[in-house]
Structure formats: structure tokens, C-alpha cells
Amino acid sequence: MQRLAMDLRMLSRELSLYLEHQVRVGFFGSGVGLSLILGFSVAYAFYYLSSIAKKPQLVTGGESFSRFLQDHCPVVTETYYPTVWCWEGRGQTLLRPFITSKPPVQYRNELIKTADGGQISLDWFDNDNSTCYMDASTRPTILLLPGLTGTSKESYILHMIHLSEELGYRTYCCANTEDLETVIHHVHSLYPSAPFLAAGVSMGGMLLLNYLGKIGSKTPLMAAATFSVGWNTFACSESLEKPLNWLLFNYYLTTCLQSSVNKHRHMFVKQVDMDHVMKAKSIREFDKRFTSVMFGYQTIDDYYTDASPSPRLKSVGIPVLCLNSVDDVFSPSHAIPVETAKQNPNVALVLTSYGGHIGFLEGIWPRQSTYMDRVFKQFVQAMVEHGHELS
């Protein structure tokens, strides 16, 4: 409260001095309009600093992990100041793809074969110019998993790669993650002596958590981070089917999914009714007609139950940090497994009051960096450099 009072006094004083100067030079011709502006500005500043800018809630299952994060990843305990003119969840979600920059990244592509004869595409950023880790065999490696319909060209993926480059790390992005375990073991076989971490965004984070929940501590990964994960697929679907959310997000994502599978229509016609799939009006309808069928589930409820990472959180066996915003319409707050997280010493939930879905915009013009970026950078660096403290 002392910090809030100081911020308000400073802001009020600066506004008063500025506006008094404008009155003297004839701005608006009188001080009446400026008094209104001053009053509104102070009121908005008070509302923003008292109700919008807040420290995230840090939920951990053990005191050791909590102290580790406070010492080496302090961003998770600092006040998050959402962009002052766009702090609401839907606004942040919609704005982020258009306002954030896309750092240039030159990838090296690798195709690996799966046991069933398929192929998985990996986009590598080798960072051979790293001055911190010049030995490629021990250069920290980070697997990045994008969200639904996402690719290695997403702005949030590019920012993670840029931050990893600054740290001297090597990264690779895998958008086709049906066989995540194959990808992880393939990369580990290439660099068995390198610290190995993973970060998943939205659907990518769900796949990562499900993998970790199934395999426990028997994974080559030393740590992982997830961002804007949907914890309960049923709750996510219900939230996205609310009229405004359907209009802003659900229908658009459904058309993206339809466009994606329609490009390879000839591959699916024997297994699903593609005409019926193309008439889906929501993600749930698409999943019922296509996804659940292709993955061999009897019903969509079976698929959604298996896809939800919340029940498997208790079995995660390596340090995992999960960042979510409680105003994320893709992942409603009531479905976040706070009590389950408290029972696993390897898990930390970082819950912000605002930030939307993969938004977390901050600053007046949030083009270069987001709160999510800062959490990612500090956490992976903390684990690479100080992870032994958790052993």
C-alpha cells in the first residue's frame, strides 16, 4: 500500500505540474477542461494501480521450489503491470499477434521418421555463434511447442528463440507433436550431455504436461515451463462456446482447423466424413467429427478426458512452472488445479489477474517483450545455472 500511495502521489504531482503549465500557455483556453482531464487521469491511475497492477499468485507444492523461484526467477513475485490501455483478457488475446514484433530467425529443418512410418518436422536454431556455450555437445537445448494451429513462425515462439539466443542456448520447434516422446528421445540422443528443457504454449503445453504426467521422472528433460495451458478441456470448450467468445475466437479457430485438414483431404476421406467435418461451427464439433475419430476415441468425452492435463499434474516428476492468467477465456480460472499443484513439490503455478491467452502484454507500446517472455527467460536460465539446488 505504501508503494501504491507513492505511485499515486508522484503521478498526481506530475500531472498537476504539466496541466498547470498547459493552462498558462492557453491549452484549451481555460482550466475547466484540464481539471476534468486531471481528475479522470488521477481516478484512472488509482483504479489501475489498485485493481489492475498486481503481483501474481505463486502456488507451489513445496517450500524448496518456492524459495528457488524467489531467488532465481524473481519476476514471478514482482507486480505485473498490464498495458495500461489494453489490460482486459480478450483485448490482450486479440492484440498480441498484431502488435508484438517478429524477430528474424533462420531455421534448419530436420525430418525424423516415426515407428508407424510417418514423419515429424523439427525446425532448429543451432546458435552456433554462442559465446557462452561454444561446445555444441553441452549447449543447453530447449524444445518449444506452439499452440493449436501454431508453427515455428508464431511471434511468441520467435521471441522465445531470440531470448534463448541471448542466453547462448540452442532451440528447436516441433509443431507436429502427436508423438512427443519420440521427438524428445531423438533430440536427447543427439546431445546426451546437454541440459535439456521444454516449453509449451497453450495446446503445446497441454501435450507437454500430459507427457510428463504419464512418464513421471523418467524423462531426459530436466525442467519444463507451460504458458496459457487449458487445464480441463470440457471447461475450455464451454467457455469458448459463450456467445462473445464464440464470435471472437471459437469460430475463427474452427475455420483454421478445417483449412488445415482440408489441404490433406485425400488422406482422411476413408476414416472420416470430411463434408461433415467442414460444416463444423465450433471446436467441439470439429473435435467430435474429426480429432476424436482420427485418434481412435470412442466418444468426444473420452478424448476430452484424456486430453485434460489437470488429473496428471500430481504425477509430474521434474520441476515445472505453469503461467496462466485468471482472465483467460481459453482456460477458465475455476478449472486451474490449484489444490493439486499444492500436493506436488515439483510444480509451481504462477497466476496473474490479467493477461488473457498468450497475451501478457506490458508497457505503453508492448511490441518487443511481454511478461510471458520474461518469465520464460528467467526460468530457463535459473534451471540451467542453478537447477542443481533442487536436486
| Residue 113 burial (C-beta neighbours within 10 Å; 0-12, 13-18, 19+) | exposed
Phi, psi of 48, rounded to the nearest 5 degrees: -65, -50
Active-site annotation holds for 202: yes
C-beta separation of 89 from 325 below 8 A: yes
Task: Note the helical H segments in 147-242.
Answer: 155-167, 180-190, 203-215, 233-240
Catalytic residue (choose from 328, 353, 369, 373): 328
Reading the block at residue 168, the C-alpha cell is 547462448
Say whether 62 sits in a helix, a strand or coil.
coil
Catalytic residue (choose from 123, 159, 239, 357): 357
Active-site annotation holds for 357: yes
- The number of C-alpha atoms within 13 Å of 13 and in the hemisphere containing its C-beta is 6
Catalytic residue (choose from 130, 152, 155, 202): 202
Q: At what angle do helices 371-386 and 63-72 cross, to 10 degrees?
A: 110
C-beta separation of 344 from 322 below 8 A: no
Active-site annotation holds for 334: no
| Residue 66 burial (C-beta neighbours within 10 Å; 0-12, 13-18, 19+) | middle
Question: Distances in Å between the alpha carbon of 189 and those of 101, 137, 186, 193, 217?
Answer: 34, 11, 5, 9, 18
Residues tagged active-site: 202, 328, 357
